[in-house]
Structure 1
């Protein structure tokens, strides 16, 4: 019996039967599930709901009702209130701002030399009718919404409500008493003293409803006189609960049926995977058929095509409402897809999944062709032999012909000409071989690390061009090595500087915490220690903020909003905000700029951040009682901002190094700066398509910013 089963298990009939089972289970599960989703409109979460009060229908109904009532008593109130225009104040203001923007761009009545207030008065005078029409349109829209909300409230079935703001009331209840509403099985009370949704028959957490409903809709009720009561009448509520229970039971049964089909599908598919390609358990040979000759990469593409085709067919079915075609299309495409998948399974068993691909075969043949060419000998030697052999063969052939015919003088002449050709060829070959050897040795030298080695080949031939190109590569390598060494040095300095800047306040924090532990918080020095801890902690925070800002700026992840900016107004307004710091610094600021407005294409916030960083550096490092010059130069295509000041420290540092992160003109690192300001400023200007450069002349520190118009 066991032997018969082993033979039967791998028979073609058994495989066909199991194949049909897989397709049947797959098609049935897909069809049932799609029909379920269509009949329930995709709302199958009901199977996970504990009771009706946690269901989408109940919460949606309560959510809509609280939404209507809260807006009626907080925004719309009554028709006279809407007609007075009080509900459209914000929308009307936004509409006026939009109209003023259009007026500013297109109207001849706009005067750029006037103030915004005067232009706005002119706009309101000339556009009074348009503003009036916009206001009436907004009021009409609010009246429609008000009437639609009242209509929806009138059509409610089985729900009582009462909402009031102290003057306006909306209700369908015979009583306005809170106690009356609490007699019903499910209710909501909101009168500033209570926020409750609690069905009496279900032990549930009111917070579940408060989080979902109160914060969403009833949260609009902010005043003490705002009141909202909602109650569900028992008989209609019971009908809804029974309907919910019936739907849940039907959907649950359907999902169980789908799960059963999927289990059958999985088991049958696993069985097919085990037996496909073999005739018995003991047979280790894998049998392939005509389907398996299809390349696996093309097979995979076809599988993806089957999936895309199925989704396209389903979309067509949903649009045309011809759901009867679902099982037929699914079965047909499923059969094709399963055949392709089983073919891949065979190749996985046969360990030919990669080897039996079109791409692998193409590259394999190309590789073999290259290997054959490579193994056939040196191509240069072949050309050399041909170039020498051809004239030599011609000369020897002429000599043999002369000996046979007796024409010695022409034969000797041809032989000497051929010999000369051989000599010239040998000389050229020797020269080219010498050049090739020089290139080969030069490449070897460069490969071994002698990047400064120069291959010296004169002339304009191909080898000379090749030598020049290799020398250029070597020069580039030399520069790359120098840059790498510089990068390593800067990286080491960066780590050292970051460690120093973080360790200094951290050491102070640890020290003063230790003192607080020893002396206690009641010590007379405790307040002083805490002040120091606060300062050092803020210092650490500033360092980490600067590091984060530098990282964002250099990576370009800061959003940039380029627009026309009046750079003169920006700098003057900013300096006005820094007036107290300027007065406290004792510095004399000299601002020079054109009389007309100067506009640039920039992000106002980012540009001011750059100017503010530079101002901060000036306050920290400028020589006391010295002058600071700010020049704005307007050119044809760009605007240049030049800021100059005298440093209080000796600037014994290269301008390029000063642009590196954590570099300071104060190398003693006694100041409170992080050394990131200039690096951040440069990155922010480059994000705005500008350039940022530093020039140092003795103790003169000069920043040059160029921005496009």
Structure 2
């Protein structure tokens, strides 16, 4: 079976059958579209309409009549109103005056450029009085003609109507009351700003705006418009709508059927064109493929133009003539398109064009002559070639000069924009950006200048931040060292004069606490300096993270119980190992735990998690701060910075800085995040790989 399929899949007979199917289906698609578009006024949406009152045809019947009535009531009213000139708008009359005034300026001797515009306009009114009167009469005649055309249009309507603004009335029956119009099977009643539509399906009509939009331009106060469908007329319209729907549904079904057939057959032809089997890697060409692709495209466009011209000629009998007109054009067009597809599959679509061939041969000829000839040959080539280029472009010489001037002006403006921007930046405006559109050297230059400005601005911001942090560092260090030192000096003075042994013992305890506090600050500062300088020996080894954390938490269990903290530890089911220095890693974790003990809210939960993140292991610490964290994460990482700005806690402000430095010298990363009162510290360390210490 497979052998037979391979045998027939690329045979000439199969290709011919697929080609014929494609032409037949394409012609069927065109015929279905033409039948709906031209024969049935393009009413494709009738397919989804449930009844006549929801359709466009119903909206058009009413919309045309109501539009005419609206214009009669709102714009023209009656003949006396038109003859009085009240239908001439200010814009319309201003346009007439401006045209005649321009004529006055150019042709009249009365026009004096030395006078002001007001005096000249007075002379214009005097001299052109007759012409202005004639122009006004002409406008009135045009409005009268339009008024009578509208009257003729509504008189020819088969609908029953009555429209009135309290003074002017337009009707084609003796009925003028709303209740009288309600006796009809379908009606639309607009009374001032209220409307009543029947049947109710009319309200669901998506084309209802065709009826209501004209009313928006009308002052509806004291205005009524009643429109009704007589039963005989409505019955006829319902029958016509039903007949059209049957035709359109049939054609839409045919359209989708033929379209599916065309897509399948065309796809098959595109797939097998140029090949003798599915495994054939080589495309096979015949004599027709020598036709250049650009010529081919021109022929396809000409075929479309010819088809449109033929369709226009047979428009009156298009339903019967569309098939014989379309089949030959479609067959030749599909053949030409398949030729293009073959070159596209062969990646010679652009190379196999007449323009590319001529340019390639010309460039090759000039190159061969230039590279192989002597200086004299090159000079002769230049002397001959330049006049030829000028001669070829002489007919468009003004255009080329204009384009060159426009291009030069654009580049000059761009240069001035860059020059102005550089001046502003030089004056110290680092926020200014040079905006140059397009591409090219100027655009690249502007982008580079903007990058330099961004770098300068960033450097200035960093320098200002560094200076501010340096000042805060000195202030904080002074504050933290001065407090215990002052206490020591004060208590030493008290101790000198104190005779009471109990007081002496109390003073010595205070001195002991303050001296230890001072010692701790000095040690932390020394350790922070060593850690930031990297002057610490590092012994990287395989570390079991969970074991390290469990053992460490056991050592600080007393502090955990004292603060009533609930430690929530989460970790992967299998053991995870990292490459780190055990002592330095524990020192970092110990600093983070110390930070938690100093600042966490008593009785709250502390979350510690271990996660695998690709080639890294994440150790995350999360806790709720006892005090409001009104400080950014970046500032909290700085030395001697604390979460409490009052500095009443026992921390030194160095713990996070030391932890960050120690993690980084172990080839890891450390950062913190603050979300309200939630403090989060994350350690990233490389995962341990076998054979790697």
TM-score (norm 1): 0.48
Question: Which protein is bigger by CA-based radius of gyration?
Answer: 2
TM-score, with structure 2 as normaliser: 0.49
Determine which structure has greater relative contact order: mean sequence separation of CA pairs < 8 Å that are 6+ residues apart, divided by chain length.
Answer: 2
